[in-house]
Amino acid sequence: MASEMVAACICATYRASGLCTHRRQASTSPPSFLLSPAVFTPSVVAASESEMASLNDQLLELQLASNRQQTEHDAAVAQTENLRVSIESLQERLNNKMLANDALSAQLRETQDLLAASDIAYNELRAKYERAVRVAAGGHNASSALGPCQDRSARRLADAEAEIAQLRLDVHTLEKQVSDHEETCLTMAAELHESRAAMQHAQAHLEGTQHVAGLISDERDALLQEIKMLKEENHRLGERVIERNEWIYGCGQEASHRAQAAAEFRHEGGGVYRTVRRKPKCVANRTARKSAAAGATSGSAFTSSREEEQS
């Protein structure tokens, strides 16, 4: 009987202390993200930070490479523009030189035609002059009559010779000028060809720099996206670390409450047990006292009845 009372008191004290609730809470499994504790080790966090630093270094290198590529691209653009202006200027000069050469060629042809006509007129004049000389040589009277005419023919012949000489000099000068212009045009055409080739090379280089700049830009965008994802992952990792710490702190608080409840249980359970152990003695004492009182009462009643009988 006493043991059943002690067990009942212990169960009541246990339920009152809340130990059953704590044990049910303690038996609850931790959050799913804590099932892999290696995720939250300092080495993993350090590795994530190291990866972030490495990505930032790569981003810095890409930015420097992009700056260098942009500088090279700007230089290529400037070179291409300078070559374009030079080609346009050279082309204009060549066109002007060719127009001048065409004009000189036309003037040369006109002078050559004039020289040819002068040669023909000179030859005719010379033939007339020679006939006049032969006629004058045939007779004295004829010679006297042809003297003034012969003089005029001689002067005309001399003027024609001078004119022809001047025309030949002009033709020679024009031919030299045309030759110089043609040589200059050929030189300018060669320079123009070289400039156009350089222009094509500069454009190819410019396209190459643009392609490389595009590749760098794409790689930088991909790296920025990776950094963004890593930052988000680190943020989630930090939140999980905070949640884990809070869970660990809650477990510590729960363990503290459990220890306090256990201490209270031990204290209250021991007191009840001592009370139960004292109860049989108390009951026996009360029973003995009641029995003694009842015996005294019955004894006094019996004595009184005997005295009445004797009297």
> What is residue 28's three-state secondary structure?
coil
Q: Would you state the structure tokens that stand for residue 120, as one six-digit string?
A: 């023909």
Quick one: pLDDT at residue 4? 43
The highest-confidence range among 10-19, 168-177, 233-242, by mean pLDDT, is: 168-177
Q: Name the band, by pLDDT with cuts 50, 70 and 90, for residue 131.
A: confident
Quick one: pLDDT at residue 42? 64
**Minimum mean pLDDT among 12-26, 74-88, 192-206: which range?**
12-26
Domain 2-286, CATH number (from 1.10.287.2610, 1.10.10.10, 1.10.1040.10, 3.40.50.1110): 1.10.287.2610
Span 80-104, pLDDT tens digits: 899 889 889 989 988 998 898 899 8
Is residue 27's pLDDT more than 60?
Answer: no
Q: Which long-range contacts (CB under 8 A, 24 or more apart) does 162-169 make?
A: 163/118, 164/115, 164/118, 164/119, 164/122, 167/111, 167/114, 167/115, 167/118, 168/115
Quick one: pLDDT at residue 289? 64
Tell me if the pTM is above 0.75: no
Q: What percentage of the chain carries pLDDT values higher than 70?
A: 67
Averaged pLDDT, 294-299: 54
Residue 181 CB neighbour total at 10 angstroms: 19
Is residue 236's pLDDT more than 60?
Answer: yes
Quick one: pLDDT at residue 150? 66
**Minimum mean pLDDT among 44-48, 193-197, 241-245, 298-302: which range?**
298-302
Is residue 264's pLDDT more than 50?
Answer: yes
Where exactly are the structural domains of the chain? 2-286
Span 271-280, pLDDT tens digits: 554 555 555 5
Quick one: pLDDT at residue 242? 83
